[in-house]
């Protein structure tokens, strides 16, 4: 049960965090000037957005869940299974951010998820 909860946090909180940060960055806009002063202004502007803080909090939860599960499971198992976030990210991007996802990308995501299933079955 502990393992399932930690994987849930890694996949769902991590993906939700990435989607939140993406939403914040779309609100700030594209970087065009890479001088240090402009980059600092860009970063400070992004920290004013609530979505950025939501994203940082969720990604932190995912990171600490990853640390916890690595304390008792092998990295050769944890990293492939956490790849389920690719599927979750695609669904989230489509629903939350309104992104269009090509058929080829869905096929690739399905292949990754199939690989995760194989790793999960052989978790011994």
Residues of the chain by 3-state class (helix, strand, coil), percent to 5: 80, 0, 20
For 31-41, how does the pLDDT look when each residue is reduced to its tens digit (9 = 90+)? 888 999 989 99
Calculate the alpha carbon distances from 116 to 32, 45, 49, 84 in Å.
38, 38, 35, 7
CA dihedral 60, 18, 81, 87 (to 10 degrees): 160
Let me know: does 94 contact 101? Beta carbons within 8 Å.
Answer: yes
What whole-number distance in Å separates Cα of residue 107 and Cα of residue 116?
A: 14
Query: Is the pLDDT confidence value at 84 over 80?
Result: yes
Give the total number of structural domains in the chain: 1
Domain membership of residue 92 as a residue range: 2-121
Query: Is the pLDDT confidence value at 124 over 60?
Result: no
Helix (H, G, I), strand (E, B) or coil at 37: helix
For 104-122, how does the pLDDT look when each residue is reduced to its tens digit (9 = 90+)? 999 999 998 888 888 888 7
* pTM (2 d.p.): 0.84
What whole-number distance in Å separates Cα of residue 75 and Cα of residue 69?
A: 9
- Percent of the chain having pLDDT more than 70? 98
């Amino acid at each position: 049960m502990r393992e399932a909860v930690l994987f849930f946090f890694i996949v769902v909180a991590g993906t939700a965090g990435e989607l939140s940060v993406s939403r914040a960055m779309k609100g700030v806009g594209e970087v065009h000037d890479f001088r240090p002063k402009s980059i600092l202004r860009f970063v400070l502007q992004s920290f004013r957005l609530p979505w950025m803080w939501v994203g940082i909090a969720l990604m932190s939860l995912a990171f600490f869940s990853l640390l916890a599960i690595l304390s008792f499971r092998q990295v050769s198992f944890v990293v492939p299974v956490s790849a389920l976030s690719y599927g979750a990210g695609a669904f989230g991007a489509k629903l939350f951010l309104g992104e269009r996802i090509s058929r080829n990308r869905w096929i690739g995501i399905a292949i990754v998820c199939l690989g995760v299933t194989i790793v999960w079955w052989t978790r011994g």
